[in-house]
Amino acid sequence: MSSGRLTHATIRALDWLSGKTLPGSTGPAHQRIGRHGEEDAYFFLRKLGYVMVARNFRSPRRRGEIDLIGWDKDVLCFVEVKTRTTRDVKPAEAAVDRSKQRELAAVAREYLHHLPPSCQFRFDVLSVYYENQSSQPAFELFQNAFPVS
């Protein structure tokens, strides 16, 4: 078993154990599903070869957060993860509208202040679907999902 699979299995086991022994989660169901989706997204991107460097990055000067930040070869990727239990209403990636894109770009600029100006970067959107009560999600990755002005 590779170390990534072992780590993922260990986290899943600890999640299950904490669900059985700790008081219930206090957040709304959609937030719990979102956190679960971000966790699965992290391991999915690692399996694709991304080198993850940050999770839930926030800036004290900007509103919002970037779910995942990782390197895809020599390109820094700011990844917005959208998790859904159905595709019935609209695709998950549609939630990354212009307003959300501006928010993500502002937070990303804060992160980029700490890197050389020549750093190549892009914005990816990763849709995670848990349909039909499946514990195994389906992923749709949109690389370079939107331009930055």
| Cα distance between residue 100 and residue 87, in whole Å | 20
**pLDDT (mean) for 116-144:** 91
Q: State whether residue 68 is helix, strand or coil.
A: strand
Residues in the chain, how many? 149
Chain segment 17-37, per-residue pLDDT in tens:
666 665 555 677 777 888 888
The token pair that represents 75 in the structure block: 């390109």
pTM: 0.81
- Boundaries of domain holding 50: 29-142
Confidence tier at 147 by pLDDT (50, 70, 90): confident
How many of the other CB atoms lie within 10 Å of CB of 40?
21
**pLDDT (mean) for 136-148:** 93
| Cα distance between residue 77 and residue 85, in whole Å | 25
Task: Specify the pLDDT at position 28.
Answer: 73
Confidence tier at 136 by pLDDT (50, 70, 90): confident
| Cα distance between residue 96 and residue 146, in whole Å | 9
Task: Specify the pLDDT at position 20.
Answer: 60
In a domain, 20, yes or no: no
**pLDDT (mean) for 77-85:** 95
* Residue 47 Cα to chain centre, angstroms: 14
Q: 45: domain CATH number?
A: 3.40.1350.10
In a domain, 147, yes or no: no
Confidence tier at 48 by pLDDT (50, 70, 90): very high
